[in-house]
A and B are shown apart, each in its own frame.
Chain A
Amino acid sequence: MQSAFGRFLVRRLVLSLLTLWLVSVVVFLGAQVLPGDPGRAILGPLADARAVASLNAELGTDRPPVEIYLSWVGDLLQGDMGQSYAYRAPVAPFVGEALLRSLKLVGVIFVIVVPLGIGAGVIAALNAGKPVDRIISVASLSLTVIPEFVSAIALILIFAVILRWLPLSATWPDGAGPLVQLEHLILPALPLVIVLFGYIARMARAGTIEALSSDYTRTAILKGLPWRTVLTRHVLRNALVPTITVVAAQTGYALGGLVVVEALFRYQGIGNLVLSAAKAKDFAMLQAGILTIGAFFIVATLVADCLTVMLNPRLRAELGR
């Protein structure tokens, strides 16, 4: 069984690398080839043709695209993400810092939303059809459809401007401790919490209702087990498998979805990095940022797949064959 899982993991890793390569091609095409002449794009239509040519030479964009791509990938493999045009400095430290900040935000989001969403979903399922269920179901559905920028503005108004409970800016002062950082991160986390809450709650509710009405739950009740044992050992164990795997896959999505939130809260995360790089036509930075988001997405999906297999004995057995 172990070696079967190992083989599965290797197969998935190879596929992930393949996906990553495809992402790099798409990113490259989007950032370097589509603008046509990067030097011209950066300097604008009024710039002198010689200045454009010399900038292209400096950036290395006067070479054929395939050559540019190969050298970019070659550098990447050696850990060099290239030089930022805007900052005149290596890209990698910027991306690393931004990624770390974004991961902190994603962490806060999931620490809040996962217990909340699963809890609400399970409570709704246990009271299916009753007012509690109706309230949770309607609330989660309506929250999901509110776009992040709408809920973010409303939350800023309520919690930062009117109530003044939370700081407006997501960026904490230098050298702030974890608690202060957390305080600054709660408000930016809430818009995505609201979006993901409905999703997770409904997954958890559906899974729990299915497990509650299953024959094996009836078997467990008829064994004379206390209700709590029935619930934890038999119902939730099966009910939450799909939810957990979805949560894992959603982390990747959340990272990509941070662009709006980070921009609104002026938080220097990966989303904001990509946004400002695009604005500044800092192609090296843009490529590196998008590729990082893509890589994270791929890792999250890989983790979700592994979790699915580990939590489901039937899939585990199929690997063994």
Chain B
Amino acid sequence: MTDRNQSAASPALELSRLSVAYTVRGRDLPVLSDVSLRIERGEAYGLVGESGSGKSTVALALQRVLPPNGRISGGHARVAGQDVMELGAAALRNMRANDVAMVFQDPGKALNPSLTVGRQMAEVYEILGASGTDAKDRGEAMLGRVRISDPTRVMASFPHQLSGGMQQRVVIAMALAKDPALLILDEPTTGLDATIEAEVLDLVDTLRQEFGAAVLFISHNLAAVASLCNRVGVLYAGKLVEEGPARALFADPRHPYTAGLLRCLPRAGFKGGPALDNIPGFPPVPGSITEGCVFAPRCGLAEDRCRTEAPPLYDVGNGRGSRCHFHDRVDDLPRMSEAPPVNLPERGPNVEPVLRLEHLSKTYKLPGNRNVQALRDVSLTLDPGETLGLVGESGSGKSTLANLVLGLAEHDAGGAISLDGTKLPASVHQRPRAAVKAIQIIFQNPDSALNRAHSVKYLIGRAVSRLAGLAGKARDERVVKLLEAVRLTPRQLPAKPRQLSGGMKQRVAVARAFAADPRVIVCDEPTSALDVSVQSAVLNLLTELQGERHVSYILISHDLGVVRHLSDRIAVMYLGRLMEIGPARSVLEGPHHPYTEALLSAAPTVTGERGTRIRLEGQIPSPVDPPTGCVFNTRCPRKFGPICETEEPAFTADDEGHAIRCHLPRGKLGRSPAPELAAASQGGAA
């Protein structure tokens, strides 16, 4: 404790030429090389990069909790002035107990499932020497400081009894309890809904000022980083390639990798705008590039010099650094994507919808004669070549709706699903083969959607033979055609999924969905498991395929940027009900439902602007016992009278088919304050 005061002047974290290597099959793979950075006391520093860039390794190394095959192979890490490499076992424990704290990605896993929250909170104070009851009281007080409304109840709860957002608050409370000099947040909001993410980011921002702790915020989500951090470092293949003040760096990147990442984000404009740019190729295997710049093989600015001479970290002024020989030419970075601009499929005014849903409801029975209505009276249509974006928090009924359309769950009696004007049986098992092949799905996680034991050829071939009924040569020809359509080459036919990158796997999944000329494809978070640069390529692919084949998409995504980029129309769902539906522009720009307004406002923007953010209070109500009247009334910031609690609002569409389920007249409903601001979206969901 005494040396804390001594070291109060030293930075919260100082990495000097830190290198980390993992030993894999007897070979040393350099995962981090020569990373130097400094985080002052009270500063928030964002470390961004795609998966495999080494950003989590930084956090593990500086606390000396690398996996058994990892080791610090060079350089130093100093936390609050102490060199962590030189600490003995007791001093290391002491540093962990006092100076540094970490919040992980998945709060549900970070908490011990068989101990109460109270026990786990008290532990932190007990290490610091507090007695049992004192530790408990202080733990409870700390829960109050992270804005948990009923600390006594939460203290007595087990982790699984709390919601994800609440669990993350508990983890943050545990981290801040020791009043650390450095708080490390590793993807703290990745598993959370957009509205909860916004809450957690706000909370961290407030607490940082209250506690004066420095923050190391590790994330692939550029927008989240932009909204929270003063300074940002960009990590690529274990090297810090660019560093600088957050706003300046995102507004005017000085490294082609940063610029490329930003161009991959679906940010502004609506469907029909230019295709997204991407970064061709893949990140290198650690240690494979020994000469020149690590980014050169994927860089649009690379010249011979880049391949022979490793760039130093150039000082580019204003406290910014870039590891690029041509940092002054980044604005000239050519477009790397070959994707053509999107042609909107022509849609006449009188086209017959390909899919028509009428009064769809889904009720699940619970033990004890209780019912839960996962979906309630949803009616909508989908035109050929149209994309309908579905948004809403988890539990809003998006996936239930998708399952009903696919026939994986059966809708309640009284509803109807029609494909090209023909009514379909509720269950996929009773649908004619033509209807089954017409409605396909692309899942969120290609890893679990593709059987690891089979080759690409088998995976696509089976879909072709099952759905299109082709065999032999005809099947093989179709497989090759599909492969080409998703921009893979026949060379990949014998590959197993584990030999493919995440993006390639998702392309195989897309090819499979297109195996038999589908009419409608449900895309369930199609890119949320992918890195930003891979996401843009998959989004471009989906757009191109739609232009070529006139297929319709139902797009489920929590990333409003993705939804904006792909959707013709957007439907907003809450507690199993449609709250709003209409053309993408009308829904996003307003007037819109207060819930839509809150969702839009929750999404952080890569420009780092913080508009007048609307925060939803309270938890999502249980669908077992939904609120009376308008189901949103318990959380609505615009609730204006008893009518909200007694009467469900009407759901009528205006001339352009924009319907809003709210008692407020349209004139009084919110609009996005400035179109430019709304155009910036939540960035980089990977």
0/1 per residue, B171-195, Cβ < 8 Å to A? Answer: 1001000100000000000000000
A240 to chain B, nearest CB (A): 11
* A237 to B, closest residue via Cβ: B114
CB of B124 within 8 A of chain A?
Answer: yes
Check B93–A226 contact: CB distance below 8 A. yes
Residues of B within 8 A of A233 (CB): 115, 123
B113 A234 Cβ-Cβ under 8 A? no
> Among the listed stretches B95-103, B389-397, B492-500, B642-650, which one makes contact with chain A, having 4 or more residues with CB under 8 Å of it?
B95-103
- Residues of B near A241 (CB, < 8 A) are 114
Of the candidate stretches B104-112, B456-464, B526-534, the one touching chain A is B104-112
> Is the C-beta of A214 less than 8 angstroms from some C-beta in chain B?
yes
Q: Judge whether B160 and A224 touch: CB under 8 Å.
A: no
Complex CA distance for A129 and B69, rounded to whole angstroms: 12
Q: Are A219 and B111 in contact (CB under 8 A)?
A: yes
Q: Are B113 and A224 in contact (CB under 8 A)?
A: no
Q: How far is the CA of A226 from the CA of B127 in the complex (A)?
A: 9
- Pair A317/B160 contact, Cβ less than 8 Å: yes
- Which residues of chain B are near A317, meaning CB under 8 Å? 158, 160-161
Query: B361 at interface (Cβ–Cβ under 8 A)?
Result: no
B residues in contact with A221, CB < 8 Å: 65, 96
Counting chain A CB atoms within 10 Å of each CB, the highest count among B65, B93, B98, B106 belongs to B93
Q: Output the residue of A223, A225, A234, A237 with the most chain B CB within 10 A.
A: A223
- The chain A residue sitting closest to B94, CB to CB, is A224
A144 within 8 A of B: no
Asked whether, in the complex, the Cβ of A224 is within 8 Å of the Cβ of B96, the reply is yes
B108 nearest CB neighbor, chain A only: A215
Q: Does residue A220 face the partner (Cβ distance < 8 Å to B)?
A: yes
Answer yes or no: A313 CB below 8 A from chain B CBs.
yes
Partner of A237, one of B94, B115, B161: B115
Contacts A224-B96, A238-B114, A314-B158 given; indicate if A214 touches B127 (C-beta within 8 A): no
Are the CB atoms of A215 and B106 closer together than 8 Å?
Answer: yes
A175-187: CB near B (< 8 Å → 1, else 0) gives: 0000000000000
**Cα separation A222 to B186 with both chains bound (whole Å):** 14
In the complex with contacts A222-B63, A222-B65, A317-B160, A216-B112 CB distance below 8 A: yes
- Chain B, 13-37, contact with A by CB distance < 8 Å: what is the 0/1 string? 0000000000000000000000000
Q: Does A225 contact B158, Cβ atoms closer than 8 Å?
A: no
Given contacts A215-B109, A313-B158, A314-B158, contact A222 B114 (CB under 8 A): no
Residues in B with CB closer than 8 Å to A313 are 113-114, 158, 160
- Say if the beta carbon of A311 comes within 8 Å of chain B: yes
A212 CB to nearest chain B CB (Å): 10
Within 8 A of A (CB), among B126-184: 127, 158, 160-161, 171, 174, 178
Chain B proximity of A226: nearest CB distance (Å): 7
User: What's the minimum C-beta distance from A7 to chain B, rounded to whole angstroms?
Assistant: 12
| Cβ-defined contact, A216 with B110, below 8 A | yes
CA distance A124 to B100 in the complex (A): 31
Output the least CB separation between A74 and chain B (Å): 37
- B114 and A311 contacting across the interface, CB-CB below 8 Å: yes
Give the distance to chain A from B400, nearest Cβ to Cβ, in Å.
21
Residue among B93, B104, B158, B367 making CB contact with A219, cutoff 8 Å: B104
Report the Cα distance A133→B637, complex, angstroms. 59
Interface string of A196-233 (1 = CB under 8 A from B): 00000000000000000011101111111110000001
A314→B108 CA distance, assembly (Å): 12
Instruction: Tell me whether A222 and B101 are in contact in the complex, defined as CB-CB below 8 angstroms, given that A214-B109, A215-B110, A313-B160 are known contacts.
Output: yes
- Given the interface pairs A215-B106, A238-B112, A313-B114, the reply to whether A223 lies near B161 with Cβ below 8 Å is no
A218 engages B65 (CB within 8 Å): yes
Q: Inside 8 A of A312's CB, which chain B residues have their CB?
A: 114
The reply to whether A225 and B127 contact each other, CB–CB distance below 8 Å, is yes
Q: Which residue of B lies closest to A215 (CB)?
A: B109
CB distance from B512 to the nearest CB of A (A): 33
Chain A residue at smallest Cβ distance from B90? A226
Is there contact, CB below 8 Å, between A220 and B65? no
Known contacts A215-B104, A218-B65, A314-B160: A223-B127 contact under CB 8 Å: yes
Report A298-315 CB contacts with B as 1/0, cut-off 8 Å.
000000000000011110
Question: Of the candidates A224, A234, A311, A321, which one forms a contact with B127 in the assembled complex, judged by CB atoms under 8 Å apart?
Answer: A224
| Chain B residues whose CB sits within 8 angstroms of the CB of A218 once the complex forms | 65, 104, 110
- CB-CB under 8 A from B95, the residues of chain A are 224
B366 to chain A, nearest CB (A): 9
Interface 0/1 of B69-98, CB less than 8 Å to A: 000000000000000000000000111111
| Docked complex Cα distance between A223 and B98 (Å) | 8
The smallest beta-carbon distance between A2 and chain B, in angstroms, is: 15
Identity of the chain A residue whose Cβ is nearest the Cβ of B127 in the assembled complex = A224
Quick one: which of B100, B101, B113, B171 has the most chain A CB within 10 A?
B113
> Which residues of A are found within 8 Å of B98, using beta-carbon distances?
224
**Measured between C-beta atoms, what is the minimum distance from A321 to chain B in Å?**
8
User: Which residues in A have their C-beta under 8 angstroms from that of B158?
Assistant: 313-314, 317
Chain B positions within 8 Å of A222 at CB level: 63, 65, 96, 100-102
Q: Give the CA-CA distance A214 to B63 in the complex, in Å.
A: 17
Contact status A234-B96, CB under 8 Å? no
Q: Does the CB pair B113–A219 fall under 8 Å?
A: no
**Distance between Cα atoms of A317 and B94 in the complex (Å):** 36
A224 with B104: CB separation less than 8 A: no
Distance between B57 CB and nearest chain A CB, rounded to angstroms: 14
Complex Cα spacing A221 to B124, Å: 11
Chain A's closest residue to B111 (CB) is A216
Q: How far is the CA of A314 from the CA of B161 in the complex (A)?
A: 8
Q: Which residues of B contact A225 (CB under 8 A)?
A: 93, 97, 123, 127
Bound-state CA distance A129–B23 (Å) is 15
CA distance A219 to B174 in the complex (A): 10
Query: What residues of chain B lie closer than 8 Å to A237, measured between beta carbons?
Result: 112, 114-115
Check A223 against B115 for contact (C-beta < 8 Å).
no
Are B113 and A314 neighbours in the complex by a CB distance under 8 Å?
A: yes
Chain B minimum-CB-distance residue to A220: B112
Could you pull out 28 A-B pairs where Cβ atoms are within 8 angstroms? A129-B68, A215-B106, A215-B109, A218-B65, A218-B104, A219-B111, A219-B171, A219-B174, A220-B112, A222-B65, A223-B96, A223-B124, A223-B127, A223-B174, A224-B93, A224-B94, A224-B97, A224-B127, A225-B127, A226-B93, A233-B115, A234-B112, A237-B112, A238-B114, A312-B114, A313-B113, A313-B158, A317-B160
User: What 12 new A-B contacts, CB under 8 Å, besides A216-B112, A219-B171, A222-B63?
Assistant: A129-B68, A216-B111, A221-B96, A224-B93, A224-B96, A224-B127, A225-B97, A233-B115, A311-B114, A312-B114, A313-B158, A321-B367
Nearest 6 pairs of A and B residues by beta carbon? A224-B97, A224-B96, A215-B109, A313-B158, A216-B112, A215-B110
